[in-house]
Amino acid sequence: MKHATLAVGITYHDEGRLLTECLESLGAQGRLPDEILVYDDASKLSPAREFIPSNVPVRLIRSEENRRPGFGRNVLLKEANSQYIHFHDADDLFRKGWVERVSEALEGDADIVWTEVACEEAGKVLEDAAGLRALVDDPDLVTICIKGGPVIRPVATTIRRSKAIEIGGYKTWETLPLVEDFDFHLRFLAAGARYAIVPESLVVARSRPDSHSIKNYAACLASKVVAVNDLAGILPEKYLADLSEASWRSGAKLFLMGKKREAARGFAVAKRLGNPQYGGRPWTYKLVARTFGPMLAESSGYFYRRIFPSSFRKAFRLDKTA
């Protein structure tokens, strides 16, 4: 039986030797994917061509203008010829068995295959970081994706190329900066995608302190509010409560970072979509938020933490969640 064809599309921008390590980990597989493409997003210091191992067959595509990962993945989506494509960042790694295990899952005719992810940060590795175990208690992958986390990284997924093209691919930096992965995967699922799960950590996502999501965390949160607002128009109504909670949570984090205008937008979107449950907050916060709104609840919480010591709050159970 003819196997489903598989492409790996790697986005690169001056990662240098990390690309070599990535491609070497792919070359060490039992068998190679049908295509390996590298998109060099206008690297200036370390062009990708200097870091491609000679024993790994790669088709290199170079842009002369830096357009960010979303644009790059759209280019790879169009340039690939395989039925399925896996997007990979140049600084992440493949573990042995990735091609075989993913290819086996693709034979079941899924539109998207999720694998577990190992996250590496400061030399420490956290296995099974994608949170796919949550499917045991809640088999709704859309809800898990709305809640966020490593599960929505491209490194965790392999997708049917035709369906990705059908939904318009990734939104680019100009339209939706920083959270294009969150938006794309939820739009993909909303289009009726069938999914399969491989519960093994077959890839290693390496966290770097200079990554966009870390350096621009506030902008990432603000962009997520925009994405949530847009997704509310295409996801089934049953997900509005989850989207509302996600927008409130982003707003709360923005408030703590001093971004009050952006926080207010997050709270406004949350209110428009439903009534957030304010998960993890004490009953006092929930009471104020439900009566006067989360902006006042956040402001009140800031001052009461300064006025009342934690021992006092604990004694009177002010921080008890309800």
* Number of domains composing the chain: 2
237 CB neighbour count, 10 Å cutoff: 8
237 lies in the same domain as 194 = no
Cα 177 from Cα 30, distance rounded (Å): 37
93 lies in the same domain as 176 = yes
Domain contains 18: yes
258 lies in the same domain as 188 = no
Q: Which residues pair with 8 in a beta bridge?
A: 36, 86
The amino acid sitting at 66 is: N
Angle 201-203-204 from CA coordinates, rounded to 5°? 100
The amino acid sitting at 287 is: L
Burial class of residue 168 (count of CB atoms within 10 Å of its CB; 0-12, 13-18, 19+): exposed
In order, the DSSP letters of 214-276 are: HHTHHHHHHHHHHHHHHHTTTS-GGGHHHHHHHHHHHHHHHHHTT-HHHHHHHHHHHHHH---
Domain contains 284: yes
End residue of a domain, out of 162, 188, 214: 214
**pLDDT band with cut points at 50, 70 and 90 for residue 150:** low
131 lies in the same domain as 266 = no
182 lies in the same domain as 223 = no
Q: How high is the pLDDT of residue 155?
A: 95
Give SS3 for 8.
strand
112 lies in the same domain as 243 = no
More confident residue, 228 or 132: 228
Average pLDDT, the chain: 91
Domain contains 1: no
142 lies in the same domain as 205 = yes
More confident residue, 141 or 59: 59
End residue of a domain, out of 175, 197, 214: 214
Residue 139 has pLDDT above 90, yes or no: no
Domain contains 77: yes
Residue pLDDT, tens place only, 87-134: 999 999 999 999 999 999 999 999 999 999 999 988 899 999 988 887
Residue pLDDT, tens place only, 169-211: 999 999 998 899 999 999 999 999 999 999 999 999 998 766 6
247 lies in the same domain as 172 = no
Residue 265's contacts (CB-CB under 8 Å, 6 or more residues apart) are 222, 225, 251
Domain ranges, residue 303: 215-315
307 CB neighbour count, 10 Å cutoff: 8
End residue of a domain, out of 191, 214, 237: 214
Contact 145, 228 (CB under 8 A): no
Residue pLDDT, tens place only, 25-60: 999 998 999 999 999 999 999 999 999 999 999 999
- CATH number, domain of 71, equals 3.90.550.10
Residue pLDDT, tens place only, 262-277: 999 999 999 999 999 9
| Measured CA distances, 255 to 47, 216, 223, 249, 261 (Å) | 40, 15, 15, 10, 8
Share of the chain above pLDDT 70, in %: 90
Cα 283 from Cα 294, distance rounded (Å): 13
**pLDDT band with cut points at 50, 70 and 90 for residue 313:** low
Q: How high is the pLDDT of residue 303?
A: 56
